[in-house]
A and B are shown apart, each in its own frame.
Chain A
Amino acid sequence: EAQVTQNPRYLITVTGKKLTVTCSQNMNHEYMSWYRQDPGLGLRQIYYSMNVEVTDKGDVPEGYKVSRKEKRNFPLILESPSPNQTSLYFCASSLPSSGGSSYNEQFFGPGTRLTVL
């Protein structure tokens, strides 16, 4: 089954304790992205990756790191989590865009609900 998986699905942690949220896709997609979703706001992009070893900042990258060592995996790292990073996080993957009107469907993982105390 084609899917994007995220782990953990739920996490409660304390300020400053490093954590990693994993994301894996089995569709051989080049493009992967991390978003956070907060009440009243749309999904906001944290980081994205166009392919292995190619990553770039999205709109809200502060406090986050990513890596793309393999095509299927795109982990999100919070080196020193703070309460303002409490949010619902989604990983997404897609085939690369050809630009213009050739955007491809984004496939989202089930989400990770993170609470930082």
Chain B
Amino acid sequence: RKEVEQDPGPFNVPEGATVAFNCTYSNSASQSFFWYRQDCRKEPKLLMSVYSSGNEDGRFTAQLNRASQYISLLIRDSKLSDSATYLCVVNRDDYKLSFGAGTTVTVRA
């Protein structure tokens, strides 16, 4: 079983729509969770950290469910510029991170 699993998508949504997707992780001891954004095989960039209580950053909302070992990302009012691959990242120990293969989102006009 992969340490971090994501639905690869693609999620094709119209502008203005809401899109949500999850990522599951296998290590119950993980304590740090992130969403990174990657555009077309360019370098990943941090989108947001995910906190236990859930958190919001503008149109983006991240949730953590420790009991079921998944994190989610919801994008409201999608923009064309939100088209990207979203990587779920979870720590394994102090120096190692596990990356999901990514969920591709395409926002169409």
B interface residues (Cβ-Cβ under 8 A, vs A):
2, 4, 8, 31-32, 34, 36, 41-46, 49, 87, 91, 94-102
Contact = CB atoms under 8 A, between A and B. Distances in A.
Nearest to A48: B95
A111 B43 contact: yes
User: What is the predominant secondary structure among interface residues of chain B facing chain A?
Assistant: loop
Contacts of B31: 100-101
A42 B34 contact: no
Sorting the interface of chain A by its residue count into under 10, 10 to 19, 20 to 34 or 35 or more gives: 20 to 34
Given A45-B96, A45-B97, A101 B45 contact: no
Given A43-B87, A106-B97, 13 more contacts: A42-B101, A42-B102, A50-B95, A58-B96, A88-B41, A97-B94, A97-B95, A100-B31, A105-B46, A106-B36, A106-B46, A108-B44, A111-B43
